[in-house]
Amino acid sequence: MKQLIDQNWLQEHNAKQEAAVISDYNALAEKLERSGIKIDTILEQAKQFTVAVPSWGVGTGGTRFARFPGKGEPRNIFEKLDDCSVIQLLSQATPAVSLHIPWDRPKDPSELRQYAEQYGLHFDAMNSNTFQDQIGQEESYKFGSLTHTNKAVREQAIAHNIDVVELGQKLGSKALTVWVGDGSNFPGQQHFKNSFTHYLDSIKAVYNSLPDDWNMLLEHKIFEPAFYSTVIQDWGSSYLAAKETGERCLSLVDLGHHAPNVNIEMIVSRLAQFGKLGGFHFNDSKYGDDDLDSGSINPYQLFLIFNELTDIRVQDPSYSPFYMLDQSHNVTDPVESLMYSAAEVQRAFVKSLLVDRNALTQYQEANDAMMAQASLKQAYNLDVEPILQMARLQAGGAIDPVSCYRASGYRAAVAKARPADPNKTGSGIV
Ligand code: AOS
Ligand code: ZN
Ligand code: ZN
């Protein structure tokens, strides 16, 4: 397999920290053993955990005010895959890439597939884009796409989604994620019922063209770019649309798409209870913002979401929603942010495995609020870093991905190899 950071160098880098990791791991094993938890079974699950990286995430993001391009930004999808391969090599948790069309539309899908495969990468859910106009397209999405008042615009948006599915089939993807920015900025601008009816009709048309082994994931967002009303603004609208559309049409929860203080873990439980929780876009947010790094603001919320997911998997071990990082890296090196975030999501997952579920159930049944919350905190407060480090070490990754990446000189090398083109950003502002 092709690797852009030398494997021998990586092993030497790890060797300096290996004894400390083994010692920390053994100490944690002893501690967990006292609670009847075998660390090796947790380690194996940690090694299985994966989260997809978005193709646009390796470019520097920005806000509507400005974008400050980073050095050595990838200029095309092949260079994006190069960066994704480094993220996977060091983190060993991100073997899949989620493509955005048209930003990353390949001229030759089989060439792109082979390029990914040489790195051991594959393609996760495809993302369509009807939230901006593309060069040469006939109809404008200024006033909406799948929900537009004009049938010709809706048909164009439907055709784009079907096209993305056909492309995804050639790349080995198995899902289409649909997020639309459709909505309004003024009370009275849009007829709520009519726009939702148009959405349902459009989504059904896309769904009817879906291959049998594909899922369609509907992503809701409270606001932005529409600031007064959004057609698929919350999990309720998403659930209704998914239920109306069909069995393989599911809801996708992007953590940054809710009002502050909304109980997202409860939304997770509700959607899962009715068989409609299909995937996640992981990120964090503080105010009304979308796409800060996962776990950077509220790691406890991330843990509580995984606590629900682990609870669901106790009932149904085969349950596996689509996981993707959806972040905008405005002030960090995107490769570092994505490696660090993948580990934060993995950390929340691992901690959720350590919750004593029998004890929690008993406390809940006995209405022992103090001990119920304490049983969650007991798992959350444990430092599981040695498990994450050991998982990466055993899988051939880096004990500490960020320090290893910095020592490798990868960014400096690509900064030379990829001179900035002032006329091309290589990524969108998302
Ligand atoms: C937008 O806010 C959403 O998170 C979508 O997932 C979007 O398609 C993605 O961020 C790419 O723009
Ligand atoms: Zn998203
Ligand atoms: Zn978003």
DSSP 20: H
- pLDDT tens across the length of the chain (430 residues): 899 999 999 999 999 999 999 999 999 999 999 999 999 999 999 999 999 999 999 999 999 899 999 999 999 999 999 999 999 999 999 999 999 999 999 999 999 999 999 999 999 999 999 999 999 999 999 999 999 999 999 999 999 999 999 999 999 999 999 999 999 999 999 999 999 999 999 999 999 999 999 999 999 999 999 999 999 999 999 999 999 999 999 999 999 999 999 999 999 999 999 999 999 999 999 999 999 999 999 999 999 999 999 999 999 999 999 999 999 999 999 999 999 999 999 999 999 999 999 999 999 999 999 999 999 999 999 999 999 999 999 999 999 999 999 999 999 999 999 998 666 654 555 5
Q: Which residues contact 215 (CB under 8 A, 6 or more apart)?
A: 174, 175, 176, 248, 249, 250, 278, 322
Ligand 1 pocket residue status of 127, Cβ below 6 Å: yes
Rounded to whole angstroms, how far apart are CA atoms 144 and 179?
12
DSSP per-residue letters across 33-81: HTTT--HHHHHHHHHH---BEEGGGGS--B-SS-B-PPTT---SHHHHH
* Ligand sitting nearest the alpha carbon of 430: 1
Ligand 1 pocket residue status of 104, Cβ below 6 Å: no
What local confidence, expressed as pLDDT, does residue 420 receive?
82
CA-based radius of gyration for the chain: 22
CB 405 within 8 A of CB 90: yes
Residue type for position 274: F
Rounded to whole angstroms, how far apart are CA atoms 53 and 144?
28
Tell me which CATH homologous superfamily contains domain 51-56+71-354.
Divalent-metal-dependent TIM barrel enzymes (3.20.20.150)
Distance in angstroms between the alpha carbons of the first and the last residue of the chain: 32
* Ligand sitting nearest the alpha carbon of 164: 1
Report how far ligand 1's centroid is from the alpha carbon of 263 (Å): 21
Query: Cα-flanking dihedrals φ and ψ of residue 397, to 5°?
Result: -95, -160
DSSP, collapsed to helix, strand or coil, labels residue 335 as helix
What local confidence, expressed as pLDDT, does residue 426 receive?
46
CB 145 within 8 A of CB 158: no
Please tell me the chain's helix, strand, coil percentages from 3-state DSSP, rounded to the nearest 5.
50, 10, 40
What local confidence, expressed as pLDDT, does residue 429 receive?
57
Instruction: Report which of 354, 324, 336, 334 is spatially closest to residue 405, judged by C-alpha positions.
Output: 336
Q: Is the peptide bond before 54 cis (omega within 30 degrees of 0)?
A: no
Instruction: Report which of 89, 45, 11 is spatially closest to residue 384, judged by C-alpha positions.
Output: 45
Report how far ligand 2's centroid is from the alpha carbon of 326 (Å): 5
Ligand 1 pocket residue status of 340, Cβ below 6 Å: no
Q: What stretch of H or E contains 183?
A: strand 183-184
Report how far ligand 2's centroid is from the alpha carbon of 130 (Å): 14
Ligand 1 pocket residue status of 219, Cβ below 6 Å: yes
Ligand 1 pocket residue status of 296, Cβ below 6 Å: no
What local confidence, expressed as pLDDT, does residue 425 receive?
52
DSSP, collapsed to helix, strand or coil, labels residue 322 as strand
